[in-house]
Amino acid sequence: MKNLHIQIEISSELFSKNPDSSDLGREIISKSIELINEIGFESLTFKKLGAVINSPESSIYRYFNNKQTLLIYLTSWYWTWTEYRLVFATTNVVSPEERLSKCINIITQPVEVDDDISYVNEILLSEIIFSESLKAYHTKNVDEKNKIGSFKAYKNVVQRISDIVLEINPHFEYPHMLISTIIEGAHQQKYFAEHLPALTDKIKDKNAITSFYIEIVNQILNIKQSQ
C-alpha cells in the first residue's frame, strides 16, 4: 500500500519541544527507532542515542523529559498513522464484515512496506510497537500519563474498530474488550513465537496469528466465512 504523504500531528502534551520542528528533532525520532530495534527499549539511554546522532544527551532532553515520553510519542505516532491506514483501507467498502476483516489484518500484522517519504521508518516502528509498546502504559504513572492524553491515538483505533463490530452486531456487549484483546494478543503471540514458543502454536505461515483472531471474530459475531 502506497500512502499519500500524510502529516502526522502529535498533541503538544506529549513532548517538551516538537521533534517534528527541527532537523535535530527528526533525527532523534528517526535514530531512536533504529536504536530501540537494535538494543531494545530497556537498554536505550539518551546518552547512547546522543552518541548515535552526535549530540549531547542534554539536547535530547529538550525534546523529551525521559525515554518513556519518547516511547509514548512513538506509539502515538504509530496509532495515529494506523488510524489513517484503517480509514484508507475501509472507505468505500460497503460490507461491515469486510471492513472489520481488513482492520483485523492491519492491527495483527507488523508493517512490511515503508512509504520511504518521511523520516519515520514505519517497518521498524511497527516492530517496536509489537515488542515494546506495552511498556508505554504498563508503568506506575499510567494514570497521570493517561490524564494528559498519552494514549488517545490508541483509544481512537480501538473505538473505530469497535464501531464496526457494533455495526455488525449492535447487541454485542464487549466490542472494546474484543478489539483490545486482539491487538494486544497479536503483539504477544508474535513475541511468544520468538521467545517462548511453548506459549503459542506452530506458526505455519506468517498469517497464522491473523487467521486465529479472524476466526475468533467470525465465530463470536456469527459471521459466515465467505471469502
Is residue 215 close enough to count as binding a second copy by CB under 8 A? yes
Is residue 66 close enough to count as binding a second copy by CB under 8 A? no
Out of 53, 134, 160, 168, which residue is the one contacting a second copy (CB under 8 A)? 134
Pick the closer one to DNA by CB: 61 or 192.
Answer: 61
Out of 37, 55, 188, 218, which residue is the one contacting DNA (CB under 7 A)? 55
Which does residue 45 bind out of a second copy, DNA, none, counting CB within 5 to 8 angstroms by kind? Answer: DNA
Is residue 45 close enough to count as binding DNA by CB under 7 A? yes
Out of 32, 35, 49, 67, which residue is the one contacting DNA (CB under 7 A)? 67
Distance from C-alpha of 150 to C-alpha of 153, rounded to nearest angstrom: 8
Is residue 176 close enough to count as binding a second copy by CB under 8 A? yes
Out of 7, 54, 91, 227, which residue is the one contacting DNA (CB under 7 A)? 54
Out of 13, 38, 112, 201, which residue is the one contacting a second copy (CB under 8 A)? 201
SS3 annotation, the chain: CCCCCCCCCCCHHHCCCCHHHCHHHHHHHHHHHHHHHHHCCCCCCHHHHHHHHCCCHHHHHCCCCCHHHHHHHHHHHHHHHHHHHHHHHHCCCCCHHHHHHHHHHHHHCCCCCCCCCCCCCHHHHHHHHHHHCHHHHCCCCHHHHHHCCCCHHHHHHHHHHHHHHHHHCCCCCCHHHHHHHHHHHHHHHHHHHHHCHHHCCCCCCCCHHHHHHHHHHHHHCCCCCCC
Out of 49, 70, 209, 223, which residue is the one contacting a second copy (CB under 8 A)? 209
Which does residue 205 bind out of a second copy, DNA, none, counting CB within 5 to 8 angstroms by kind? Answer: none
- Residues lying near DNA in the complex (CB under 7 A) are found at 17, 22-25, 45-47, 54-59, 61-62, 65-67
